[in-house]
Structure 1
Amino acid sequence: MTQYDPGLQPERTQLAWRRTALSIAVVSLIAARALPLILGSGVWVIPGVVGVAASAVLWVASARRAGAVDRALSPVPHPDRMPDGRLIAVVVVFTIAAGLLALVVLLVGVPA
């Protein structure tokens, strides 16, 4: 009796991680382009570059996570355990940091 159903759920989860990484990349590219124009300083391109790098890391980490889940749930015995919540925690921290950055941008305001 196998407990693992190799249906579409693992693929949907992987696609959700990819959409998350892609949305972080798009918003980061927009921020890298818009923030220096709005706030008038080239230093505001840094959050956009960090976001694009984070999305690339998330893309790779999510692929590794999907492989680990697939190996851990397959009917063939593997020593792998299920992935923990570290990747989710990193995405949460990144989202909170982006929200705080948006708050800072709102408080700094557009120079007159």
Structure 2
Amino acid sequence: MTGQGRIPPGSLVSGPFDPGLQPERTELAWRRTALAVAIGSVVSLRIFPLLLPSDAAAWGLAPGVVGIGAACAFWLAARRRQLQTTATLHSANAPGPSTAALPGGGMLLALTMLATAFGAVSLTIVAVSLLAR
């Protein structure tokens, strides 16, 4: 006997897909990522200006400000991506041919580029602070 909500092995699913659990989980994961980027950026706002020489301390604010802006962009893009994915899945489940495409990996590429740039800036700030001593 199968439990409620379980599909017996070998049977075909004729009803609609589960309307939003996977896109919602993906959105929540991107929200956690955006929150982690924001927290790291706030910490960098506090630490980087202290590490740099006094005449270059303002440059220590740039990575934090860019990171907070990127975190906001990731948060909004995650919501837009979830809505687009859900709409695509609903249209693909409708009778007739579906021409809708799922979102690609642009957010992942943007996050990778941001993390690489943030790491390079962090290493540069550490190197400058060590050379200034």
Q: TM-score range by the shorter chain?
A: 0.7 to 0.9
Tell me whether 1:82 sits opposite 2:102 in the alignment: yes
**8 Å contact 2:45–2:65 — kept in the other structure?**
yes
Partner AA of 2:124 in structure 1: V
Please give the alpha-carbon distance, in whole angstroms, between the structure 2 residues aligned to 1:4 and 1:57.
29
Structure 1 stretches of 5 or more lacking a match? Answer: none
Matched residue, 1:95: 115
CA distance in structure 2 between the partners assigned to 1:71 and 1:19 by the alignment: 23
- Superposition TM-score, scaled by structure 1 size: 0.87
1:68 matches 2:84: yes
Task: State the Cα distance separating 1:79 from its structure 2 match.
Answer: 5.2
What are structure 2's unaligned runs of at least 5 residues? 1-13
Answer yes or no: is the 8 Å Cα contact 2:51–2:125 preserved in 1.
no
Residue number among 12, 21, 25 corresponding to 1:12 in the alignment:
25
Note the C-alpha offset of 1:37: 1.2
1:57 corresponds to 2:73: yes
Question: 8 Å contact 1:68–1:80 — kept in the other structure?
Answer: no
| CA deviation vs aligned residue, 1:24-60 (integer Å, no higher than 9, x gap) | 0111011011100121312210110011011111110
Partners in 2 of 1:87 and 1:8 — Cα distance?
A: 20
Equivalent residue for 2:8?
Answer: none
TM-score w.r.t. the length of structure 2 is: 0.74
CA contact (8 A) 1:14 1:66 kept: yes
- Which of 34, 39, 57 is the equivalent residue of 2:52? 39
**Cα distance change of structure 1 residues 7 and 87 upon mapping to structure 2, 3 Å threshold:** closer
